[in-house]
Structure 1
Amino acid sequence: MSVKECTHHKNKSQKLLRKLCSFFLILAFIVLLTFLITWAILQPRKPRFTLQDATIFSFNVSAPILLSSNFQVTVASHNPNSRIGVYYDKLNIYASYKNQQITYFTGIQPVYQGHHDTNVWSPFVYGTNVPVAPYNGQSLSEDQENGSINLLIMLNGRVRWRVGRFISGRYHIHVRCPAYIPFGNKPNSAIPGIVVGTGIKYQLSTRCSVNV
């Protein structure tokens, strides 16, 4: 084969490669532009969670490393989007103290949340003889004796987004709700409790942080 023929094939391959590169660049630009336009139109925002109250039925550190507790919390979730619906496919709630889970998981029923809708859940969060780290057990006992305790009510699960007939894949959602609970109904308590049956109910109205 002559040098001229080899040069011809080489130039042809280079032209084809340049065309392919141009095609993929244009395609990437179109996809990016479509995404930006869609985002600008929909203006997606994360759901907003609020911990409204907590009713304490029992909370007892029976040994330095064992905790038994039973309380009910009310959590509200609001969808601030006007064009996006939310599927809560899986959602578990539990209590945490100083980065340690101190109750069992409680599952929340799957639900679809429409535009600007609000869902309110009142699950029981509990645990019987749950092992905790020795330093946390001692700290829990001291906090309870002092009349107040700072917990985190955690919700973890998976959500999907719905726009018209389009439904996205599943995304992880993590919710952290600070819960300051003053045990004992002390006169100087900033959050007095209300006796509800065998428990004491505390109004919290705490805004939660949400990561998706």
Structure 2
Amino acid sequence: MGKVKPHHDWILRRCCGSIAACILTLAVLVGFIVLVIYLAIHPSKPSFYLQDVQLRSIDLSDPAISLNLQVTIASRNPNERVGVYYKTLHVFTTYREEPITVPVELPAIYQGHKDVSVWSPVMSGDQVPVGQYVADAMKQDISAGYVLLHVKIDGRVKWKVGSWVSGGYHLFVTCPALLANAGGNVGGAFAMSAAAGGGVNSTVSLKFAQAADCTVDV
């Protein structure tokens, strides 16, 4: 009778091992199928375009910058069989690689095949501290008649194929926004108030030069 229990334990271990092996094999098979489908479809990253910028004000007070602007950004899903979930997107503006607005969260959306989505967030920064060289560079750019800002988006995306949804992927978008001197009196798309020499404010008129393609990293 003493030999029955060890034999029973051996059978139990064999059964558990077989079940675990079957589960592992099934998981590997499912993962392989998903990988094959993903590689066969090969989703392309979405395209982003900066369509418009409406700058309401910029104030320079050494060494800080205050500004308020609204941008219009469009995104297009180029895929025919893959949808895109945009998750936790934040947009902000930089000048000379320094953030000059507070990040604004964009609404999370699902973008179907070949669909186009548009966001028009308002961004602002109040007395944002910057390096002295950044403030000096902006004054020089304004005097030269142009200012190059960059509108950036940082977030995550997921791919959707049928009912299958992928894990999250990091998305980073950079859009150049060139503002050029409109000439004449104030009243263009951009009205900027910048501290001039001697602490006297001077107002200049700048306009968004043209719509721009954005670089996209996924």
TM-score range, shorter chain: 0.7 to 0.9
How far did residue 83 of structure 1 move? 0.8
Q: Taking structure 2 as the reference length, what is the TM-score of the superposition?
A: 0.74
Return the letter of the residue paired with 1:59.
I
| Counterpart-to-counterpart distance in 1, 2:148 and 2:52 | 14
Q: How many residues align?
A: 181
Structure 2 residue matching 1:204: 3-state secondary structure:
coil
| Counterpart-to-counterpart distance in 2, 1:123 and 1:68 | 17
Question: Structure 1 residues 50 and 158, CA, compared in 2 at 3 Å: closer, same or farther?
Answer: same
Give the ranges of 4+ consecutive aligned residues of structure 1 lying more than 2 Å apart after TM superposition.
27-38, 193-204
How far did residue 159 of structure 1 move? 1.1
How far did residue 29 of structure 1 move? 10
How far did residue 80 of structure 1 move? 0.3
How far did residue 47 of structure 1 move? 0.4
Task: Point out where structure 2 has 5 or more consecutive residues left out of the alignment.
Answer: 1-20, 193-205
Q: Taking structure 1 as the reference length, what is the TM-score of the superposition?
A: 0.75
Any conservation in 2 of the 1:194–1:201 contact (CA below 8 Å)?
no
* 1:202 and 2:208 aligned: yes
Matches within 5 A, 1:31-180: 35-36=35-36, 38-40=38-40, 42-63=41-62, 65-180=63-178
Question: Structure 1 residues 140 and 114, CA, compared in 2 at 3 Å: closer, same or farther?
Answer: same
Identity of aligned residues (%): 36
| Counterpart-to-counterpart distance in 2, 1:204 and 1:103 | 22
| Counterpart-to-counterpart distance in 2, 1:91 and 1:204 | 24
| Counterpart-to-counterpart distance in 2, 1:205 and 1:124 | 18
Question: Structure 1 residues 101 and 164, CA, compared in 2 at 3 Å: closer, same or farther?
Answer: same
Any conservation in 2 of the 1:194–1:202 contact (CA below 8 Å)?
no
How far did residue 46 of structure 1 move? 0.1
How far did residue 36 of structure 1 move? 4.5
Question: Structure 1 residues 209 and 197, CA, compared in 2 at 3 Å: closer, same or farther?
Answer: closer
Q: Deviation per CA, 1:123-179, whole angstroms, max 9, x where unpaired?
A: 112101000011101111111222211111100011111111111111110001111
| Counterpart-to-counterpart distance in 2, 1:29 and 1:166 | 16
| Counterpart-to-counterpart distance in 1, 2:102 and 2:39 | 38
Question: Structure 1 residues 201 and 89, CA, compared in 2 at 3 Å: closer, same or farther?
Answer: same
How far did residue 203 of structure 1 move? 5.5
How far did residue 33 of structure 1 move? 7.9
Task: Point out where structure 1 has 5 or more consecutive residues left out of the alignment.
Answer: 1-19, 188-192
